[in-house]
Amino acid sequence: MPAIEDSAARTALPSGLRERKKRRTRDTLIRSALELFALKGYERTTVDEIAEAAEVSQRTFFRYFANKEEVALAMQTSVDALFLATLRSRPAAEAPLPALRGAVLATWEGASEVIESVVPLELHMRTYRMIESTPQLLAARLRKLSEVEEGLTREIARREGLDLDADPRPHVLVAAFGGVMRVTARIWGERGEGGLEDLRLLTVAYLDQLGPALAGNWRA
Amino acid sequence: MPAIEDSAARTALPSGLRERKKRRTRDTLIRSALELFALKGYERTTVDEIAEAAEVSQRTFFRYFANKEEVALAMQTSVDALFLATLRSRPAAEAPLPALRGAVLATWEGASEVIESVVPLELHMRTYRMIESTPQLLAARLRKLSEVEEGLTREIARREGLDLDADPRPHVLVAAFGGVMRVTARIWGERGEGGLEDLRLLTVAYLDQLGPALAGNWRA
DNA sequence: GAGAATTATGTCAGTGCCTGCCAATTGGCC
DNA sequence: GGCCAATTGGCAGGCACTGACATAATTCTC
């Protein structure tokens, strides 16, 4: 294993025994980690414990994940990749904001399958909230999101045939869109209950407020 | 020192010798840290080195800053507090977006003074770029920004007399605004040169694109 | 202004994350 | 079976950070 693969590459079909084994080890590490996190909290779980639960050495853990945060964010990272792929497959005629909006909703439709192949959905949702409420994880998550936004921006610019250095609109649109996505995730997390469907409704409602919120006079 | 004070409290006038000494130690730690970071990079600088340069023990360092990131972000944190205070002092008649926009610009006017009382402006700008290009620091910075946004949201809701649970507009507006602020900071950092004035121009230009970027048809 | 109370600092030991290095094992291929 | 390459384990060590306790510096009280 020359370098840590990102989870996008994981989508490729396993060719030989070696690949299948690696994938199994990785999935086991994720499952063990998320279960332990749910059981005793992120900070109180040590990497040694995760490695032991997955029956590998601590050293091997760090060959699969650059750090402890990575394994906590692993499923989110998969969903992020799916989101980007979904956006790319959107009809070219669609305007930027509807394309983004449509892509999130479509992603959430299909994400459950990807997730369930590794961990129970229930555990993933629990992890989702844990990330929002654990400072260190939230920080790492926000940084990853800013990378995702960079990808989105490039894709929007490509779709519209724009030069990112000359036209600020792709950057601005994605920034606003990303901001709303983050707020809804946070608010949904704070609520402490409610499933994926609630998150979906909240997101749609908030996205629809982007226009009104920017309007000058709120009292009109 | 029962708990680590946030830098907002630092604004209070030093009463006795004890307070003045603490402030001096804190400022020295910040200056030593930022100089070392500029000299040999964030990751290659150890807390021991910072403590030694400031002539205190490593243990004392951790009494002033919860972790190594905190000292790198110390000045930004001060500016954040100033920003929030500036927003609060804006005329009540001003609409939300103009109030935010005016507050950033006003803050950048007055921030230089606050900063220069601790570190040279040049060193601070250098640190600013370092944060953008150091993954761990960027993550910590983004998390702090999301806290700032929470404060902004509350203030906007207060100004407009709105209930945050009932009306999504404060959250949405601040999310969009914050997104743009982050993008401009990143782009400015990537440019690798240019001073505070360039950052200002970039920010204003991008903020003005918020409306157009959200418009349905970009080709019109 | 001396002593008591409070608060800041230093020292030390220990835990946990993470890395480099090398040896041992395992899978792929002839 | 036997060679090559990839994967893994074990170990030593660096660095961030914390708890506990002793010491030193300020402030308070009379």
- Tell me the pLDDT tens digit for each residue of B49-61: 999 999 999 999 9
In the predicted structure, residue A35 carries a pLDDT above the cut 50: yes
Q: At what angle do helices B96-116 and B169-191 cross, to 10 degrees?
A: 40
Beta carbons of A177 and B179 less than 8 Å apart: yes
User: For an interface test with A, which of B162, B214, B219 has the most A Cβ atoms less than 10 Å from its Cβ?
Assistant: B214
> Are B195 and A191 contacting, i.e. CB atoms less than 8 angstroms apart?
no
DSSP, collapsed to helix, strand or coil, labels residue A186 as helix
B220 or B104, higher pLDDT:
B104
Q: Per-residue pLDDT tens for A126-182?
A: 999 999 999 999 999 999 999 999 999 999 999 999 999 999 999 999 999 999 999
Average pLDDT, chain A: 91
- With pLDDT > 90 as the criterion, what percentage of chain A qualifies? 83
CA B219, A101, A174, A162 dihedral sign is: negative
The answer, for B214 touching chain A at a CB cutoff of 8 Å, is yes
CA of A118 to C1' of D3 (A): 36
Average pLDDT over residues A12-35: 86
CA of B57 to C1' of C11 (A): 9
In terms of Cα–Cα distance, which of B50, A24, B66 is closest to B58? B50
Would you list the DSSP string of chain B? --SPPPTTGGGSPP-SHHHHHHHHHHHHHHHHHHHHHHHH-STT--HHHHHHHTTS-HHHHHHH-SSHHHHHSHHHHHHHHHHHHHHHTS-TTS-HHHHHHHHHHHHHHHHHHHHHTTS-HHHHHHHHHHHHH-HHHHHHHHHHHHHHHHHHHHHHHHHHT--TTT--HHHHHHHHHHHHHHHHHHHHHHH----HHHHHHHHHHHHTTHHHHHSS-TT-
Cβ-Cβ contacts under 8 Å, B140 against chain A: 139
Beta carbons of A176 and B173 less than 8 Å apart: no
Residues of chain B (66-85) having a beta carbon less than 7 angstroms from strand D = 66-69
> Are A135 and A44 contacting, i.e. CB atoms less than 8 angstroms apart?
no
Average pLDDT over residues A51-69: 97
Average pLDDT over residues A189-195: 84
In terms of Cα–Cα distance, which of B134, B36, B150 is closest to B84? B150
In the predicted structure, residue B215 carries a pLDDT above the cut 80: yes
Question: Comparing A1-5, A12-16, A31-35, B71-75, which segment has the lowest mean pLDDT?
Answer: A1-5
Q: Is B162 left (phi over 0), alpha (psi -120 to 50) or beta?
A: beta
B192 or B120, higher pLDDT:
B120
In terms of Cα–Cα distance, which of B71, B184, B53, B75 is closest to B122? B75
- Binning pLDDT at 50, 70 and 90, where does residue A12 land? very low
User: For an interface test with B, which of A142, A164, A184 has the most B Cβ atoms less than 10 Å from its Cβ?
Assistant: A142
> Are A73 and A140 contacting, i.e. CB atoms less than 8 angstroms apart?
yes
Burial of A47 (0-12, 13-18, 19+ CB in 10 A): middle
Tell me the CA distances in angstroms from B74 to A130, B137, B145, B198, B213, one per residue in order.
27, 12, 13, 23, 34
- Binning pLDDT at 50, 70 and 90, where does residue B8 land? very low
Contacts with B36 (C-beta within 8 Å, 6 or more apart), sequence order: B45, B49, B50, B53
Residues 99 to 158 of A: which have CB under 8 A from any B CB?
135, 138-140, 142-143, 146
In terms of Cα–Cα distance, which of A34, A38, A47 is closest to A78? A34
CA of A22 to C1' of C26 (A): 12
Q: For residue A194, what pLDDT is reported?
A: 79
What is the C-alpha separation between A150 and A161, in angstroms, rounded?
16
CA of B214 to C1' of C9 (A): 56
Q: At what angle do helices A135-160 and B135-160 cross, to 10 degrees?
A: 90
Q: For B149-172, give one letter per residue: b (16+ CB within 10 A) or e.
A: bebbbebbbebbebebeebbbbbb
CB of B209 under 7 A from strand D? no
Q: For residue B74, what pLDDT is reported?
A: 98
Tokens, residue A34 = 């998320």
CB count, 10 Å around CB of A112? 13
Average pLDDT over residues B18-32: 94
Burial of B11 (0-12, 13-18, 19+ CB in 10 A): exposed
Chain C positions with any atom < 7 A from a protein CB: 7-12, 16-21, 27-29
List, chain by chain, residues whose CB lies under 7 Å from nucleic acid strand C.
A 16-19, 21, 45-48, 58-59, 62, 66-69; B 1-2, 18, 21-22, 25, 55-60, 63-64
Q: For residue B3, what pLDDT is reported?
A: 57
The pTM of the full predicted model, rounded to 2 decimals, is 0.92
- With pLDDT > 70 as the criterion, what percentage of chain A qualifies? 92
Q: For residue B4, what pLDDT is reported?
A: 58
The answer, for B168 touching chain A at a CB cutoff of 8 Å, is yes
Point out the residue among A140, A176, A210 whose CB comes nearest to the CB of B139.
A140
Q: For residue B1, what pLDDT is reported?
A: 57
In terms of Cα–Cα distance, which of B177, B63, B52 is closest to A176? B177
CA A92, A142, A192, A117 dihedral sign is: positive
What is the C-alpha separation between A184 and A177, in angstroms, rounded?
11
- Binning pLDDT at 50, 70 and 90, where does residue B6 land? very low
In the predicted structure, residue B132 carries a pLDDT above the cut 60: yes
What is the C-alpha separation between A203 and A208, in angstroms, rounded?
9
A21 or B193, higher pLDDT:
A21
Min Cα–Cα distance to chain A from B14, Å: 31
